Amino acid sequence: MVYLSFAINQQVSGCGRWSDVAGAKHPCQSGISIDGHRDAEDQSTNQSVTRLNQHDGDPKMSNTANLSLFAARVLLSIMFLMSGYAKLMDPAATIGMITAAGIPAATLLTYLTGTFELVASLAVIVGFQTSAASILLAGFTLFTALVFHSGPISIPGFPPEANGLLSTFNNLMMMKNISITGGFLALAVIGAGAFSVDAKRTPASQAA
């Protein structure tokens, strides 16, 4: 047993006399390379890491992935585009909501909010400064969820059933905003993809 262990240890470090162990062939005699096997495993691992590291504007990213990112940008932003336009065209409802929340300068904040939503959503759609715009929209969406859509609704003179239904809808709005926040944070990390202004502005050496 001692000799068998010694012979096996010899084979790990090089091409010894494998025939001394039960007449078996040494890997070198049969054309097997331990180092070559390890190299193949390392190469496979590196290829997997490369695939995981594909990011904004990477030519190796599939067209399907880039189209999906473009669709995600549009779907996440279209609501803010419409909301911003509506605030600027008809600010009364938003002014009333901000006033009811006890926040001062409601009229000014309404116009600033409408402009922000319009500009930031357009930036995400076209893919310009996508990460920065996505982070700003994520913070804005989370803020509105917690300030305007948390807690029950209790309108004086409304029956309890009506207030209960409104509270349910308000809670759904809060959860919707929180979900959208997650989408914007993911977009900020992943990037806009190839179909964006950001990709056109990124040097080829950085995209590779």
Note whether 30 and 87 are same-domain residues.
no
Query: What digits encode the pLDDT tens for the residues 158-183?
Result: 888 888 898 899 899 999 999 999 99
In a domain? residue 101: yes
User: Is the Cα torsion angle 140, 146, 150, 151 positive or negative in sign?
Assistant: negative
Note whether 48 and 67 are same-domain residues.
no
Residue 96's pLDDT is 93
Whether the per-residue pLDDT at 205 is higher than 70: the answer is no
In a domain? residue 165: yes
Note whether 130 and 70 are same-domain residues.
yes
Mean pLDDT of the chain: 79
Note whether 41 and 67 are same-domain residues.
no
Note whether 33 and 79 are same-domain residues.
no
Residue 44's pLDDT is 54
Domain containing residue 168: 63-207
In a domain? residue 82: yes
Report how far Cα 99 is from the mean position of its chain's Cα atoms.
34
User: Is the Cα torsion angle 14, 20, 21, 23 positive or negative in sign?
Assistant: positive
And the tokens for 143? 């803020």
The three-point CA angle 88-90-95 to 5° equals 85
135 neighbors 188 (Cβ within 8 angstroms):
yes
Q: How many domains does the chain have?
A: 2
195 neighbors 70 (Cβ within 8 angstroms):
yes
Note whether 42 and 78 are same-domain residues.
no
Q: Which residues contact 130 (CB under 8 A, 6 or more apart)?
A: 56, 73, 123, 124, 187, 188, 191, 192, 196, 198
92 neighbors 111 (Cβ within 8 angstroms):
no
How buried is 59 (Cβ within 10 angstroms: 0-12 exposed, 13-18 middle, 19+ buried)? exposed
Residue 59's pLDDT is 57
d(CA 163, CA 136): 32
In a domain? residue 57: no
Query: What digits encode the pLDDT tens for the residues 107-144?
Result: 999 999 999 999 999 999 999 999 999 999 999 999 99
Note whether 41 and 76 are same-domain residues.
no
In a domain? residue 19: yes
